[in-house]
Amino acid sequence: MTAPAPGSPTGDERVAAAAGLSELGAEAEQSRTSYGEGALIVCDRLVRIYAAEGIEVQALQGLDLLVEDGELTAIVGASGSGKSTLMNILAGLDAPTAGRARVAGFDLGAMTQRDRLGYRRATVGFIWQQTSRNLLPYLTARQNVMLPMRFAGLARRPRGRRAGDLLDMLGLAKCAGRKPAQMSGGEQQRTAIATALANQPRVLLADEPTGELDSATAREVFGALQTANSELGVTVLVVTHDPAVSAEVRRTVAIRDGRTSTETLRHDAADEHGNATRHAVEYAVLDRAGRVQLPREMTEALGMKDRVRLRQAADHIGVWPDRPREAPEAPEARGARRGEPA
Ligand SMILES: Nc1ncnc2c1ncn2[C@@H]1O[C@H](COP(=O)(O)OP(=O)(O)O)[C@@H](O)[C@H]1O
Ligand SMILES: [Mg+2]
């Protein structure tokens, strides 16, 4: 991961076996209570196991994730990595097998049927990838947006007013009287966003909302999510494969094998000529049990498998492949042999 620091004084060689480091001490157990305090979305070692025809699929394998109120976060990851499973749990459509998921104070693993219904109606809005799944085909855009407010018991007049405001905000005024079949794919997805916002949710969840759209239309739909985030302050979590989308958000979380593996944070800065530039820094996620996922391309390039050696230096931790015949030397001998892991 990092180059060895020549002559570093603190040689603390260890062998980290692939398994066995995950035992949690009392200290870690204590951090559980305070983990994510103040965050709007808290996933605490979330596990979801599907058992189908005797085969067990571990879709989420102890996923940790914190999202602050008002953030717009992109979730990326290979197909099958667990993104939809996570979104469905956060949407209250599915329940975790183990671990904890909390959204706006709701404990998603311990909700009654009634709580769940209320949660889905008022706290989260959800947008599916399939445009046809988001809207009722026989209702106009305006009627679609009004429908969740009717379920929530809002009177007709305020329903109509809010639907109009939301459609205006998302640039859909001209579609108000049209049915989904009379709208483009992008207009339908933006109407779906307006519908998901109808009951003023705290969180908007969108699972590949632009997956069926061309890139120009995808931008438009993503723009609507940004508008919802900036104008209404709603927290947005969007699963996307589109690098153009993930390049525009401040925070991108990558999921690999059912766990959060890396995070990319971007911020705007000015270069030496005063021009605005975007900086992106990719981080590996360090979970509370001390686990880090090493990127596959790095471990494969160095032939790392099953176990690796760790060495603590003054300001970093080095990771080396396990080669039994090259026993680590004493730290003092290292200065003479640069490039060797010691
Ligand atoms: N209902 C289900 N029954 C059995 N396995 C499932 C089910 N849903 C998803 N899976 C499996 O769980 C894993 C994660 O799936 P999913 O969350 O849909 O991934 P993604 O959205 O990242 O493509 C995959 O291996 C998938 O096959
Ligand atoms: Mg999916």
Q: Is residue 138 located within the same domain as residue 205? A: yes
Q: Tell whether the model's pLDDT for residue 5 goes beyond 90.
A: no
Nearest-5° Cα angle at 314, 310 to 318? 25
Cβ of residue 78 lying under 6 Å from some atom of ligand 1 = no
In a domain, 289, yes or no: no
Cβ of residue 188 lying under 6 Å from some atom of ligand 1 = no
Q: How far is CA 342 from CA 11, 261, 324, 336, 337, in A?
A: 9, 28, 13, 10, 8
pLDDT band at 23 (very low <50, low <70, confident <90, very high): very low
Q: How high is the mean pLDDT of the chain?
A: 85
What tokens does 29 get? Answer: 């157990």
In a domain, 28, yes or no: no
Q: Is residue 64 located within the same domain as residue 177? A: yes
Q: Is residue 186 located within the same domain as residue 157? A: yes
Atom number, ligand 1, closest to the C-alpha of residue 60: 14
pLDDT band at 6 (very low <50, low <70, confident <90, very high): very low
In a domain, 126, yes or no: yes
Q: Which of these three, 236, 258, 284, is where a domain ends?
A: 284
Cβ of residue 125 lying under 6 Å from some atom of ligand 1 = no
pLDDT band at 319 (very low <50, low <70, confident <90, very high): very high
Report pLDDT digits (tens) over 124-160.
999 998 888 899 999 999 999 999 999 889 999 999 9
pTM: 0.82
Q: Is residue 306 located within the same domain as residue 243? A: no
In a domain, 30, yes or no: no
Q: Is residue 120 located within the same domain as residue 150? A: yes
Output the pLDDT for position 161: 96
Q: Is residue 83 located within the same domain as residue 173? A: yes
Q: Which of these three, 284, 308, 332, is where a domain ends?
A: 284
Q: Is residue 222 located within the same domain as residue 273? A: yes
Total number of domains constituting the chain: 2
Q: Phi-psi region for residue 89, left (φ > 0), alpha (ψ -120 to 50) or beta? A: alpha
The dihedrals phi and psi of 115, each to the nearest 5 degrees, come to: -60, -45
Closest CA to 186 of 217, 144, 208: 217
Q: Is residue 153 located within the same domain as residue 247? A: yes
Q: Which of these three, 238, 258, 284, is where a domain ends?
A: 284
Pocket test for ligand 1, best of 47, 49, 50, 259 (most atoms within 8 A of CB): 50
Cβ of residue 48 lying under 6 Å from some atom of ligand 1 = no
Q: How far is CA 61 from CA 84, 134, 338, in A?
A: 14, 29, 39
Query: What strands lie across the sheet with 55-67, from one edge to the other?
Result: 55-67, 41-52, 98-103, 106-107
Atom number, ligand 1, closest to the C-alpha of residue 77: 22
Output the pLDDT for position 93: 92
Question: What is the Cα–Cα distance from 193 to 203, expressed in whole angstroms?
Answer: 12
Output the pLDDT for position 1: 41
pLDDT band at 9 (very low <50, low <70, confident <90, very high): very low
Output the pLDDT for position 130: 87
